[in-house]
Chains A and B, each alone.
Chain A
Amino acid sequence: MSPESLFAALAINPAVILFAGAALAALLPGAQSALRRPLMLAVIAMSAAQLARLGLGEWGALTIFGEPVTMLRIDPLSRLFAIVFHIAAALNVVYGWHVRDRAQDFASLAYPAAALGGVTSGDLVTLFVWWEIAAITSVFLVWAPGTRMTFLTGMRYLVIQVLSGTLLLAGVVLVYRETGSLAFNEIGLRDASGAVKASGLVLFIAFGIKAAFPLLHNWVQDAYPKSTIAGSIVLSIFTTKLAVASLARAFPAEPALIYIGATMTIFPIFFALIENDLRKVLCYSINNQVGFMVCAIGLGSINGAAGYAFGNIIFEGLLFMALGAAMFRTGTSMATELGGLYRTMPLTMILCIVGALSISAFPGTLGFVTKGLIIDAAGEGHLFWIWLALLFASAGVLEHAGIKIPFFTFFAHDSGKRPAEAPLPMLIAMGVSAALCVLLGLFPAPLYALLPDQAAIAEYHPYTAYHVVEQLQLLVWATIAFGVLKAMKWYPAEVPSTNLDTDWLYRAPGRSLMFWAVDAAKAVWTLAWRGFQGRVVAAFARVYQVHGPEGQLARAWPIGFMALSVAATLAFALVFALVV
């Protein structure tokens, strides 16, 4: 292969186009920063056009030092993710129109580019490269507020993301040793005899960290709420969905995922109910939502996972945007300090409610037509307890995301704040999201046409009486429950508090352990270096002595010596010519 073919393979890749656009935007001088967002939007349009032009297929098949890699693979699964990533990236650019920050602008395009590259990669090495780029570019969003707290948070975030990348690399090596191929296809957690494979397990954990599996989830609540308003929306979308796409490809119908997913859907609900910071509530909601997708993958419903990921990106993003708009105007996202904003932000309130209805899977919304795929798969699998858990979790979603977010932001007690309506770009971004929620909810056919498993979707009809009645019952009872809890004052009141999650374990005792390990490593290194140092210094001194300006090799030699060196070379050559 030639560099030419490498460049060609890169130039054809929409993710590379996006990334190049991000770099270009970052290079714009500060005086022209107002041009950045329009430029970013144009780049997204270019990349989307390239995606549409390519259609389905594989490109960028190269041989790098003997190993075939496929840098770009667009199959129905990756296409769906690629499309929704483009939509989300464009909406986020519009939403953050007011941002004039080089690092944030760069990251809000480069990071989606990396996620896009990851989902469209056809081999594990390409996946790894994009995986790491996603980790590194996204941390700029965590750092964006520029305080010491966000810096430390960013470092914690980076450590965990890089850990995931390292595990991924280890997994890639193990897979290669096992199969002799770098292709990114179904890998599976177990071998033929049913025992867990090391290669599968390592990859599983690497993906699991990014998907925020239970106990591996704390980085989400730690990092996302601390970013800027626009930054946390960008963050909320890509990393976990990249992980979902990777899980769907590598571990379809893995039973362990059913139980992991079900746990993920339930445990965040309790944290979300008592949490005061509404952005953190939404972060717990991410865990819960990704849980549905993970569960769907375990159930073998790739349609459910991919479809719900599509829907979730739109309506979860909408909720984040609406809350962000309130925060943009009032400067806070605490439930205790918000409330009563419906008076002056009616449009934002309406759009927020559309998002809330959608995430609660109200019939006629995007949530309904996508979540039904998952619930149905559980029912058809005759997994009663899982089905029940998912129903319970759906009710929980309604409580914490569907009702809590709009209620405490726009209604509840009157905070006395009378902010202006959200700015126009934010309203546009939210309006488009809401329109997508409603339109695709009423007419899901275009979305269904994009789902990976067309055979399965052909038999699925969202608006049967059974589906609608089941869902309405659930929603009505859950709403009544909220009303009763609220009336009896049993619903956890909004209190400013710090709720400990399992991350306390590694942030307090774990931290001490880590510092002990650092000190120990330092001591060992000092000891080793002491023996080594002298020799390195001596070796460099020797190199300088020979190669330095006055060294034998660099001196201007007398002509006789020059001739002698040539004669010696000739003798050497003659010996080999005549004797060997």
Chain B
Amino acid sequence: MTIADQLPVLPIILPLVLAPFAILLRNGRAAHVFAVVVCGAAFAFCAMLLARVTAEGVISYALGDWAPPIGIEYRVDLANALVMLLVSGVATLAAAFSYASIRTEIDDRQLPLFYAAFMICMTGLLGVTVTGDAFNVFVFLEISSLSTYALVALGARVDRRALTAAFNYLVMGTLGATFFVIGLGLIYQATGTLNMADIRAQLSAGPPGAMPNSMVEAAFAFILVGMGLKAAAFPMHLWMPNAYAYAPSAVSAFIAAASTKVAVYVLIRFTFTIFGSDFDFIDAMLTYVLTPIALAGMFFASIVAVFQEDVKRMLAYSSVGQIGYMLLGISFGTEAGLQASLIHIFNHGLMKSALFMAVACVMLRLGVHTCSGFHGLTKRMPFTAAAFIFSGLSLVGVPLTVGFVSKWYLLQAAFDAGRPWAGFLIVASSLIAVVYVGRVIELILLRDPPSEGLLANDVDGNPVREAPLSMLIPMWVLVGANIYFGLRTDLTAEIAGRAAAALMGGAQ
């Protein structure tokens, strides 16, 4: 067995094992460099995985050489390789981005701990994505969630509300995980296995009419709600705006792009690979439960975003709305809808992360993340302002950006699925996005920077300067990705299309 055969496990095992060593580094700068290197290595492995899956098809890896279904299986197909690429890529950029910003927001002595938690969080998210074992999903989910609670709570030095936000997140996250594990328990009771492919086989085997029974149906309901909570789907999103708003800026940039997307991915995996849309009850659930949840998020959360004074909270509510688009794509129950959903998972990660990074730059210089910090930003921090504008336009869905690609496929999927009304609602809710993004862009472009008061100068009382290069470069890499993938749509669309086709074909 060569090292190349171990590729699926490397992005997980490497940060998992190395993260504790970050604590041993007493110096924050060293921990930062260490984290960037480890995350970068994970990203490189994920890119290699995606390349290999694209070329060779599904990779199955038996952990510890215990053959599935008894042992834990890592199963990489296009869908999770794409999500892993997003998670590790954003993690690397956010880690590189974080140093200048996090240094001003948390105690110096906590820096090594911060980077350790950050790496653990990424490991957990990658593990959730890579695994082919249903219970293993839960384990990694807890790993990532616990470290996220800690990361959010670190924001307390700047704003004490981070503590309540983290506590609420902890309670709600645990609730979601509990529902999820209840669902798993029911499945295990019904099928006697935890391997995803095996569950699928057990569900479709047996005498006709035996499956699905009400235990399986209830299991799906629990998993849907548990993952919906982790994904911050509409009525279960209440923990999320505060968690994103009061977490340290760099943390928001990472978890906004990665953690909710991973939850949506798990939902897709369970809905289509494990249960399969050939069950009538899945169809009914998608239509009658997921569709209203999606639509409510698209409208109510977006309208809330319009009135927010705090830009981070606004972006958080916008995320709830954007999650609505992903769930809407899933709820069509078609291949095109699934493709659109996967594309939007990837694309939304790119744009939201870039937006939160821009807010982090403003936070670094001006010490606020409210709208007032954005007045006349072009005159004070032109590159940050431009990054916010470009990724904001991407969020709205302006052509030549990834947002347009997402909306386009989503619209096509809506029309293909015979739900033109959904297409009109997508356009209508995009108009709300025009308002909440346009509102901030108006401040950036047309207002004059305040000449007196607290915001006339930066936090140290000097004239406001552009953010440091260590922040600008990662942010602009993401902005560039927003435009690059907006032009080269074949990359994401083709991978997502093939992934969707494989998912709809059931577990192979």
The 0/1 profile, CB within 8 Å of B marked 1, for residues 552-574 of chain A is 01101101011101101110111
CB of A543 within 8 A of CB of B303, answer yes
Residues of B within 8 A of A562 (CB): 168, 171-172, 236, 238-239
The 0/1 profile, CB within 8 Å of A marked 1, for residues 168-212 of chain B is 100110011001000000000000000000000000000000000
Cβ < 8 Å to A, chain B residues 385-401: 399
Interface of A (DSSP majority class)? helix
Q: List 25 A-B contacts (CB under 8 A).
A: A2-B408, A2-B409, A4-B490, A7-B489, A65-B415, A66-B415, A543-B303, A547-B306, A551-B304, A553-B300, A554-B308, A559-B172, A562-B172, A562-B238, A566-B176, A566-B236, A569-B225, A569-B293, A570-B179, A573-B221, A573-B224, A576-B221, A576-B289, A577-B221, A577-B281
CB of B300 within 8 A of CB of A577, answer no
Interface presence of A580 (CB below 8 A) = yes
CA distance A3 to B407 in the complex (A): 10
Q: Interface residue tally of chain B, by bracket?
A: 35 or more
Interface presence of B104 (CB below 8 A) = no
Interface presence of A331 (CB below 8 A) = no
Interface presence of A578 (CB below 8 A) = yes
Interface presence of A423 (CB below 8 A) = no
Q: Which residue of A lies closest to B489 (CB)?
A: A4
CB of B168 within 8 A of CB of A577, answer no
A281: shortest Cβ distance to chain B, in Å?
A: 45
Cβ < 8 Å to A, chain B residues 241-284: 241-242, 281, 284
Interface presence of A548 (CB below 8 A) = yes
Interface presence of A549 (CB below 8 A) = yes
CB of B306 within 8 A of CB of A577, answer no
Instruction: Report B's interface with A, CB cutoff 8 A.
Output: 167-168, 171-172, 175-176, 179, 214, 217-218, 220-222, 224-225, 228-229, 235-236, 238-239, 241-242, 281, 284-285, 288-289, 293, 300-301, 303-304, 306-309, 317, 399, 404-405, 408-409, 412, 415, 486-490, 493
CA distance A147 to B196 in the complex (A): 74
8 additional A-B pairs beyond A576-B221, A576-B288, A580-B288, beta carbons within 8 Å, are: A3-B405, A4-B489, A4-B490, A66-B415, A554-B241, A557-B238, A566-B225, A569-B225
Cβ < 8 Å to B, chain A residues 489-532: none
Interface presence of A544 (CB below 8 A) = yes
Q: Which residue of A lies closest to B406 (CB)?
A: A3
Given A543-B303, A570-B221, A2–B238 Cβ distance below 8 Å?
Answer: no
CB of A548 within 8 A of CB of B307, answer yes
B23: shortest Cβ distance to chain A, in Å?
A: 31
Residues of B within 8 A of A544 (CB): 307
Closest 6 CB pairs of A and B: A577-B221, A573-B221, A577-B217, A547-B303, A4-B489, A562-B238
The A/B interface has a contact count, at CB < 8 Å, of 107
CB of A569 within 8 A of CB of B285, answer no
Residues of A within 8 A of B490 (CB): 2, 4
CB of B284 within 8 A of CB of A559, answer no
Residues of B within 8 A of A543 (CB): 303
Among candidates B172, B281, B301, B408, residue contacting A580 with C-beta atoms closer than 8 Å: B281
CA distance A553 to B168 in the complex (A): 17
CB of B171 within 8 A of CB of A578, answer no
Residues of A within 8 A of B176 (CB): 566
CA distance A174 to B486 in the complex (A): 36
A49: shortest Cβ distance to chain B, in Å?
A: 23
Residues of A within 8 A of B175 (CB): 563, 566
Residues of B within 8 A of A573 (CB): 221, 224-225, 285, 289
CB of B489 within 8 A of CB of A3, answer yes
CA distance A412 to B167 in the complex (A): 96
Q: Which residue of A lies closest to B161 (CB)?
A: A556
Residues of B within 8 A of A7 (CB): 487, 489
CB of B235 within 8 A of CB of A4, answer no
Q: Which residue of A lies closest to B493 (CB)?
A: A2
Residues of A within 8 A of B172 (CB): 559, 562-563, 566
Residues of B within 8 A of A565 (CB): 235-236, 238
CB of A2 within 8 A of CB of B489, answer yes
Q: Which residue of A lies closest to B399 (CB)?
A: A3
Given A3-B489, A549-B308, A570-B222, A556–B408 Cβ distance below 8 Å?
Answer: no
CA distance A578 to B289 in the complex (A): 12
Query: Looking at B228, B303, B493, which has the most chain A CB atoms within 10 Å of its CB?
Result: B303
CB of A547 within 8 A of CB of B284, answer no
Query: Looking at B229, B238, B293, B301, which has the most chain A CB atoms within 10 Å of its CB?
Result: B238
CB of A577 within 8 A of CB of B307, answer no
Residues of A within 8 A of B300 (CB): 547, 553
Among candidates B224, B235, B242, residue contacting A568 with C-beta atoms closer than 8 Å: B235
CB of A569 within 8 A of CB of B489, answer no
CB of A569 within 8 A of CB of B238, answer no
CB of B307 within 8 A of CB of A559, answer no
CA distance A548 to B317 in the complex (A): 12
Given A563-B175, A570-B179, A549–B307 Cβ distance below 8 Å?
Answer: yes
CB of B217 within 8 A of CB of A578, answer yes
A241: shortest Cβ distance to chain B, in Å?
A: 30
CA distance A219 to B228 in the complex (A): 62
Q: Which residue of A lies closest to B302 (CB)?
A: A547
Residues of B within 8 A of A3 (CB): 399, 404-405, 408, 486, 489
Residues of B within 8 A of A1 (CB): 412
A64: shortest Cβ distance to chain B, in Å?
A: 10
Residues of A within 8 A of B224 (CB): 573
CA distance A544 to B306 in the complex (A): 10
B9: shortest Cβ distance to chain A, in Å?
A: 34
Among candidates B167, B179, B284, B309, residue contacting A549 with C-beta atoms closer than 8 Å: B309
CB of B218 within 8 A of CB of A578, answer yes
Residues of B within 8 A of A574 (CB): 218, 221
